[in-house]
Amino acid sequence: MHARRRLGAVTALVACDLALGLSAQEPGRHATPVPLQPLAQQVRRLESALRYLGEPLPAGDRQAIDEAVGTSDETTAVLRLQQVLDRHVLVSVHINPESRVRVEQGSARPELVQGGTRVFLVKVVNEAGVTAPLVVQSPHSGRVYVPSRNRPEAPKDLTDVHVRERWAEISLFAQPPMRPRLSGLGVEYAILQVYSRDAGQRSALMGFSVGQGSQDIGFRNDVEVLFTARPAHPIRVRVRDEQGAPTTAGFLIRDELDRIYPNISKRLAPDFFFQPQVYRADGDVIQLPDGSFTVTVARGPEYLSQTRRVAVAGSQELSFALERWIDPSRDGWYSGDHHIHSAGCSHYDNPTEGVTPEHMWPQIVGEALDLASVLIWGPSYYHQKQYFSGKDHPLSTPTRLMRYDVEISGFPSSHAGHLVLLGRKDQDYPGTKRLEDWPSWTLPILRWAKKQGAVVGFAHSGWGLEVKTADLPNYDMPGFDGIGANEFIVDVTHPDAVDFISAGDTPSVWELNIWYHTLNTGFRTRISGETDFPCITDDRVGLARSYAKVIGPLTYRKFIDALQAGRNYVSDGRSHLFDFTVDGVESGTAGSEVRLDGPRKVKVAVRAAARLDPIPVESIRQKRYDETPYWDLERARIGTTRDVPVEIVVNGVPVAAQNLVADGSTRTLTFDVALDRSSWIAARILPSSHTNPVFALVGGAPIRASRRSAEWCLAAVNQCWTQKSPRIRPGELADARAAYEHARQVYRQRASEAR
């Protein structure tokens, strides 16, 4: 669905089943007794919806709600809750026992803002117990014409009168967490949104109904409201990076009532309705009315965010000089997010097109990503594939690259695990004309992509690998019933089939456990960081990313070759592990391999840096590891200090650690690590950053670090087969069965070779 249609869909009804009957014009009087518990639950749902829409209830009202819910007398609590909400009612709708509707204006101030949206409450007194959707209609609402450079004249089907009269978009909100229909309770509240194209006083006739025949005699289901829209002014922003060059940043703007600007629900791309921030380049404009605003400017995890109070009184210019606490690219470490989307998930409920590369570019620049892979997948595949060229997109610059590639998601093989294919030359699998023709399991697709030089791996690795323990490694058997690195347990046993598994966007224990076990069994698959924006997270691109070391100028090929070689580390961007070496051999160089004549100590070194604010963020620290954000440096904080542990991991087990002060400084840490057998060694700040391994071969023996890991892998193949084989096509089942049996034989052999 096109951005305009999707954002319009966001503005439909949601009812907040508040079961009290009070006149909006007389807050707190004539209350209908209801149980407090369901009422309080419904109020919380309303609060969540208003926060999502960027217009939360004022802080004083939220406090009053909390106090009311805690009141011991239920009648008093219900009355106080109603008193709080009635102040925000613009229209009161009464449905009589015959389902006739009449309306009257409420007590909320009908104040709007030019070019923006305001949110009000609608009270529904429902004597008939109607459960149909509540509908609002207005002759002043519809396709609002706004002159622009690309459309200076109104469409031909709009007369001057139409243009003048259609000054608003008026709609009811119909998305979760609220219900799309009336509940049938005696009193409910709905959320009304009013967008104004113009400034000044404008009148709107609004009619409400709950189906055919519900209009009351005398047309009393209409109410005429005189709105006053405050004028908005162009605020030009100047944004310079740490070197004084013009750049793009994210702007989060709130007024004194904590309302977000531009309003979330009526945004059009390149501004996304699911993000509180908007991205603006140097010289761009943001429309704001007169007033006082808090403006927070940020540009990804490598920069310090800035917050200032701004008084707006007419057009003006605001300048921001950004500060960077670290710049890995100066040492050849470039950040990349190999998994972002321009269609599907948060972009649209029913996608047919998605957004353009021009809409994705501000997201990439605004989060200071050096490289981004925009992955075409099932939703909008046939539209979005026009952007795939096998080359960097023309918007790319010498120091910032955007490339379109593919995620095998929404394809017949998706049940076995989603795949990321980077650096392809061919768009479609041989012999296919549509997605449904592609293979129904993963190994054939990986082999096809590898033949054309692609670097391939599994996406959002933890899905389907859920366990109840936080131990790492652990030997619990997950369900293998999801879309993460499930068939990876089979594919990794086939030579040159899979290069990496993804990390950073699912719980770290689930991602790392299967990787640790396969490393312990002697395989050398790498990890790479991804966000899966805006599906797993729609906060921003690059929340998890890879930092890859590139020699010379950055190119897409050099970056994905670094991922394949393991010359990268995964990070949330707030901690960094540069130049990880074992006996002088750096990860990702010389095959990441060190050869030792016999057991001895090795010298491990890493340059580490991290930055935490002095005051802990308890809301993150207290979360379980399987709650978002999954990878966040705050989780690694030691107590209330700014210290985080840098651990050296041997065969999945931490064997040494040093505390690092997360003050933004880069420090070289060294460790002496004893090895008594062939092993893999890595560094981590868990769950914030993790290097790829260096493989130390003692006496020329292969790595067989754990028989128990090999046995876990063997059991995992069997578990995976029970989940995936029923959805593999009959014509492909014989090859799949042989591939699974090959994996079993490999793990049995390696278990026999392990300690």
Using CB atoms within 10 A of its CB, is residue 732 exposed (0-12), middle (13-18) or buried (19+)? middle
Q: What is the mean pLDDT of residues 637-645?
A: 97
Contact of 560 with 457, CB cutoff 8 Å: no
Q: What is the mean pLDDT of residues 327-331?
A: 97
Contact of 564 with 430, CB cutoff 8 Å: no
Reported as a single tens digit per residue, the pLDDT across 76-110 is 998 898 889 999 999 999 999 989 999 999 999 99
What is the structure's pLDDT at 219? 57
Contact of 531 with 363, CB cutoff 8 Å: no
Q: Residue 192's beta-bridge partner residues?
A: 172
**Cα 362 from Cα 150, distance rounded (Å):** 20
Q: For the chain, what is the mean pLDDT?
A: 91
241's CB contacts (< 8 A; 6+ apart) are 247, 299, 322, 324
| Per-residue exposure over 297-325, b if at least 16 CB sit within 10 Å of its own CB, e if not | bbbbbbbeeeeeeeebeeeeebebebeeb
Residue 678: both structure tokens together: 């062939």
- In DSSP notation, 615-630 reads S--HHHHTS-TTSSSS
What is the structure's pLDDT at 8? 35
Helix, strand, or coil here: 79? helix
DSSP letter assigned to residue 631: S
What is the structure's pLDDT at 476? 98
> Residue 261 pLDDT more than 50?
yes
Domain residue spans in the chain? 3-150+158-223, 232-324, 572-705
Helix, strand, or coil here: 89? strand
Per-residue pLDDT band for 27 (boundaries 50, 70, 90) equals low
CA distances in angstroms from 540 to 247, 272, 360, 369, 455, listed in the order given? 17, 10, 11, 11, 25
What is the structure's pLDDT at 269? 87
> Residue 3 pLDDT more than 50?
no
What is the structure's pLDDT at 187? 79
**Cα 201 from Cα 308, distance rounded (Å):** 32
Q: What is the mean pLDDT of residues 596-605?
A: 98
What is the fold, at CATH topology level, of the domain defined by 572-705? Immunoglobulin-like (2.60.40)
**Cα 270 from Cα 751, distance rounded (Å):** 53
> Residue 148 pLDDT more than 60?
no
> Residue 7 pLDDT more than 80?
no
Per-residue pLDDT band for 154 (boundaries 50, 70, 90) equals very low
Whole-model pTM over 0.75: yes
478's CB contacts (< 8 A; 6+ apart) are 464, 465, 466, 467, 510, 716, 719
Same fold for the domain at 232-324 and the one at 572-705?
yes
> Residue 5 pLDDT more than 80?
no
451's CB contacts (< 8 A; 6+ apart) are none
Reported as a single tens digit per residue, the pLDDT across 665-699 is 999 999 999 999 999 999 999 999 999 999 999 99
Q: Identify the residue with better confidence: 209 or 349.
A: 209
Q: Are strands 500-503 and 455-458 parallel, antiparallel or unpaired?
A: parallel
What is the fold, at CATH topology level, of the domain defined by 232-324? Immunoglobulin-like (2.60.40)
Q: What is the mean pLDDT of residues 38-67?
A: 91
Reported as a single tens digit per residue, the pLDDT across 698-719 is 999 999 999 999 999 999 999 9
> Residue 412 pLDDT more than 90?
yes
What is the structure's pLDDT at 556? 98
Q: Considering only the C-alpha atoms of the chain, give the largest distance between any 2 of them, rounded to a whole number of Å.
A: 97
Contact of 395 with 362, CB cutoff 8 Å: no
| Cβ neighbour number for residue 350 with a 10 Å cutoff | 10
Q: Are strands 89-95 and 222-230 parallel, antiparallel or unpaired?
A: unpaired
> Residue 18 pLDDT more than 90?
no
Contact of 206 with 92, CB cutoff 8 Å: no
Comparing CA positions, the residue from 270, 360, 281 lying closest to residue 320 is 281
Amino acid letter, 705: A
What is the structure's pLDDT at 674? 98
